Amino acid sequence: MTKTDMTQDNTIQEKIKHVSQPVDHGMIIEKNVQIPMRDGSYLMADIFRPDTKLQKFPAIMNTSVYQKDKVWTPPHDLEEEANPYMNWETVNPLWWVPRGYACVRVDSRGTGQSPGLCEPSSYQESVDFYDAIEWIAKRDWCNSNIGTSGISYHASSQWRVANLRPPSLKAIMPWEGRADQYRDQAYHGGIFSMGFVSNWIATHTAHHLLGRPRSFNPDTFQPDMLWQYLRHNLDSDWWRLHSARWDQIEVPLFSVGNWGGWALHLRGNTEGFVNAKSKHKKLRIHTGTHFHPFHSEEGRLDQLRWLDYWLKDIDTGIMDEPPVKLEIRTGGSDKPYAFRFENEWPLARTKWTKMYLQLDQQEQQEGDQVEGTLSESLPNKTAQISYPASAITKAGIASGSSLSTTHGNVGRTGISLETKPMTSDTEITGPLMCNLWVSSTSEDMDIMITLRNIDANGNDVNEVGQHGQPIPLTKGWLRASHRTLDAEKTLPHRPYHAHTQRLWLEPNVPVECQVEIWPTCIVLKKGHQLRIDIQPRDGLGSAPYTHFHCDYNSGATNTIYSGGDKESYLLLPVIPI
């Protein structure tokens, strides 16, 4: 055990003394409890609660389309043992019930055991969740205090029900949870995130119609979700009803993100912490897969300390700690890094540093050669470099093929630039932005950015993604026609695009674009280099969060400009060490 491991273990053992202790009450399991909705329909729920009438207990609630009856068999290295009550991305009743909590899982309308028309991640689902919360709070075994904790879908639903302010909802803990359905999930920078969205819809349709629910709910899970997402390809009130509305969220919140969640969830967690109206807010960002940290001893302790404080009025000390808790990545580990407390996000001591694009070539180079460098000095003269917008695949430029995104690229796309080797360890922690001057021979242009940690031997130093896969540091995206900013919401380090109109490009006429790059954290070691890939297609480590490559890319040539009156740069959040 390392010194860091020993310190963390001692800290955990001390904190355990001030939280609810396990008591063997036994456990009552109520299956398929009908919860009435305001419109006369009902949802089906499973309730796990302590088997005693001597006291009343708070409840931890979830609602989703993931089927409450679908048992999850976790990997062997999870810090909680497999049991018949484990369910994907939700709390484990065998751990929480002895500590004095009821666990309530609700099948969303039209999914699992619940009848009706399925509307995943919708306003209707939020209204239903509100009704379920208030009904559970009135049970004779409940102390009227409801909390929420869960991952992904189970986190996103927390943001949306918090919009409605159910009186009995006393605290939420959205763990790796997208909040803005348009910007976080469906349209990254205005580019349709087809890989994840289409696969998610197909998978859960199959789970319902080809799985066990077919036998008892044959008309289950039939949303027109894909059509609706494609039809609503600009931001609108439709998306706002499906998303967090920060000015309406007042409940105490503990927002939990993952540095590896840069294509779905992380943005929601940082935006939620910064913008929610709640007076009591905390932010935690860790590393690892989508599920290991949630079920770790350390992760469960954070959940227990938070919920004990707000649902049981136990002073666990969690509100005495600084509001921000960050795992500081030092590069390449498949184990957790050490946490560090901070007082705000972004960090007040950030040295915002512009790294200008120094373009050394006029065309894309072969192989893995870079086309330029990142420098703190703006080049005196404007240079430009061009590259094909549509990568050639083994089927040519196959924009009419249903397999056009899966034939496989022939060679690298776009351009790459690197910093000089670091002269000392350099920490980059926070949100990022890339300002680019671009043009295209087409009416539109996709900009996809990847940041990479390159070691002294020229190899990628990868981190652990949410699915356990190797990933680069972070990514950002923008469709050039979506470059219009919302002036009220845009910050120097985090552009906020309106996504309400398209400003088409004129052939070969440069325009300025600010690309939002999702937050990251890395200590670049001495001798390492930061690399930026600017591409028209998904780059290194994108899967499964890939995008639809629209027909405006076919046969087009894109150009990037830098220097002189065209300031193209990467804005880095450098933290003094």
* pLDDT tens per residue across span 29-64: 999 999 999 999 999 999 999 999 999 999 999 999
Residues (pLDDT < 70) of the chain are 1-10, 391-411
Give the pLDDT confidence score for residue 412 in this predicted structure: 79
Helix/strand/coil for 90: coil
* pLDDT the model gives residue 16: 80
Confidence at residue 276, expressed as pLDDT on a 0 to 100 scale:
98
Q: In the numeric block, which tokens belong to residue 129?
A: 């969740």
DSSP, collapsed to helix, strand or coil, labels residue 400 as coil
* pTM of the model as a whole: 0.95
Q: How far is CA 121 from CA 64, 155, 269, 549, in A?
A: 8, 11, 17, 25
- State the Cα–Cα distance between residues 230 and 215, nearest whole angstrom: 31
Q: What residue segments make up the domains of the chain, in order of their start?
A: 3-342, 351-575
- In CATH terms, is domain 3-342 a member of 3.40.50.1820? yes
CATH class of this structure's domain 351-575: mainly beta
Measure the CA–CA gap between 312 and 22, rounded to whole angstroms.
Answer: 14
Burial of 53 (0-12, 13-18, 19+ CB in 10 A): exposed
Mapping DSSP to helix (H, G, I), strand (E, B) and coil, where does residue 275 land?
Answer: helix
Closest to 89 (Cα-Cα) out of 375, 320, 290, 351? 290
463's enclosing H/E stretch is: strand 463-464
Do 3-342 and 351-575 have matching folds? no
- What DSSP designation does 460 have? B
d(CA 152, CA 291): 10
